[in-house]
């Protein structure tokens, strides 16, 4: 089988190169912006003292470490991510918490030990699978019968103005792009809550709930343009553009984001789904 034919090959390429390296470079900033979701996911997926937990798409490990602290020394939290650079950073951080560990792997195909985990959790790490039903079925067999599932995923782009402002601002400076496939792997792949529920049903989970959650996120004004230009689709586009076009876009961004700035910080509503289920 060729590398390009492997499941999630495009995502593996992205997260093991430019995207993964950008997240490593900006790890403290990203963790700060997404901090409100750390407690949300840990509270929703917490299996009790001494539990064993799997964190999917763990990135640099913030949620893994938080859950490891929560389950205590008698429990364990394992973080799994497709990105070698992010897992390498997470392993440096695990010195902080003795009962956390990290593995490089794709949750769609990883050979999990059956029934090992009391809970499976994720903070924005499950929207990137070529075959989400296969991925969630694989996660389910990793959970013990009755084990918990809890994750957050973004709702629709139209409900997340902050997250889409950069792309809208850049669009006039770029060639016309085809309309994106709303179900394609990516940030907004789980925008349709009914689709999320169908995926979980098809992969064998039960007691499924997909609930709207709106969270206020904050970022220091001094860091806002770094966050906007280094991450996400715009960050990827700017790495490929000629200097003149890139400069036009970056000059237009501060005015576009001005409505989100108040008292020295950027503030935005993060419109998400909190999905929970039982194995």
Instruction: For 228-245, give the DSSP string.
Output: HHHSHHHHHHHHHS-HHH
Average model confidence (pLDDT) for the chain? 94
253 located within any domain: no
Query: Residue 4 pLDDT more than 70?
Result: no
Does a structural domain hold residue 35?
yes
What is the Cα–Cα distance from 188 to 91, expressed in whole angstroms? 28
Token pair in block for residue 30: 């990203």
Residue 161, domain member (yes or no): no
Contact 17, 23 (CB under 8 A): no
SS3 115: coil
Residue 243 above 90 pLDDT?
yes
Structure tokens of 36?
């409100």
Domain that holds residue 87: 3-156+181-217+270-278
| Whether 183 contacts 130, CB under 8 Å | no
Q: Is residue 246 part of a domain?
A: no
pLDDT for residue 18: 86
The rounded distance, in Å, linking the Cα atoms of 271 and 265 is: 19
Token pair, residue 251, equals 């000059």
Between 2 and 22, the higher pLDDT residue = 22
Confidence label for 179 from pLDDT (cuts 50, 70 and 90): confident
Per cent of the chain over pLDDT 90 is 85
Q: pLDDT tier at 147 (50, 70, 90 boundaries)? A: very high
Separation of alpha carbons 86 and 104, rounded Å: 9
Tell me whether residue 136 is in a domain.
Answer: yes
Tally of structural domains, the chain: 1
φ/ψ (deg, to 5) at 221: -55, -35
**What is the C-alpha to C-alpha distance for residues 94 and 218, in angstroms, rounded to an integer?**
26
CATH of the domain at 143: 3.40.50.150
Those residues with Cβ within 8 angstroms of residue 126's Cβ, 6 or more apart along the chain or in another chain: 56, 57, 107, 132, 135, 136, 151, 153, 190
45 is a domain residue: yes
Q: Comparing C-alpha atoms, which of 264, 110, 136 is closest to residue 196?
A: 136
Alpha carbons 84 and 183: distance in angstroms, whole number: 26
Model pLDDT, residue 192: 97
pLDDT (tens digit per residue) in 68-92? 999 999 999 999 999 999 999 999 9
Measured in residues, the chain has a length of 279
CA 31-132-130 angle, 5° bins? 90
Q: What is the pLDDT of residue 133?
A: 98
- Residue 176: how many other CB atoms lie within 10 Å: 5
């Amino acid at each position: 089988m060729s590398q390009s034919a492997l499941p999630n090959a495009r995502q593996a390429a992205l997260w093991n190169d430019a995207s993964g390296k950008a997240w490593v470079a900006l790890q403290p900033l990203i963790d700060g912006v997404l901090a409100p979701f750390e407690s949300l996911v840990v509270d929703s997926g917490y299996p009790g003292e001494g539990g064993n937990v799997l964190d999917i798409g763990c990135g640099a490990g913030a949620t893994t470490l938080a859950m490891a602290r929560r389950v205590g020394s008698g429990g364990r939290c394992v973080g799994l991510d497709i990105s070698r650079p992010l897992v390498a950073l997470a392993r440096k951080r695990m010195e902080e918490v003795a009962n956390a560990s990290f593995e490089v792997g794709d949750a769609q195909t990883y050979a999990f030990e059956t029934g090992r985990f009391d809970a499976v959790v994720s903070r924005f790490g499950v929207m990137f699978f070529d075959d989400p039903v296969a991925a969630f079925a694989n996660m389910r067999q990793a959970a013990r019968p009755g084990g918990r599932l809890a994750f957050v995923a973004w709702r629709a782009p139209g409900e997340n103005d902050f997250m889409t402002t950069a792309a809208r601002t850049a669009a006039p400076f770029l060639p016309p792009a085809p309309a994106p496939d709303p179900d394609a792997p990516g940030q907004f792949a789980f925008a349709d809550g009914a689709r999320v529920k169908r995926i979980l049903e098809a992969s064998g989970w039960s007691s499924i709930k997909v609930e709207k959650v709106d969270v206020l996120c904050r970022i220091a004004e001094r860091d806002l343009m770094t966050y906007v230009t280094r991450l996400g689709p715009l960050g990827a586009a700017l790495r490929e553009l000629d200097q003149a076009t890139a400069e036009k876009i970056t000059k237009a961004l501060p005015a576009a984001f001005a409505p989100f700035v108040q008292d020295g910080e950027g503030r935005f509503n993060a419109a998400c789904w909190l999905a929970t289920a039982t194995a």
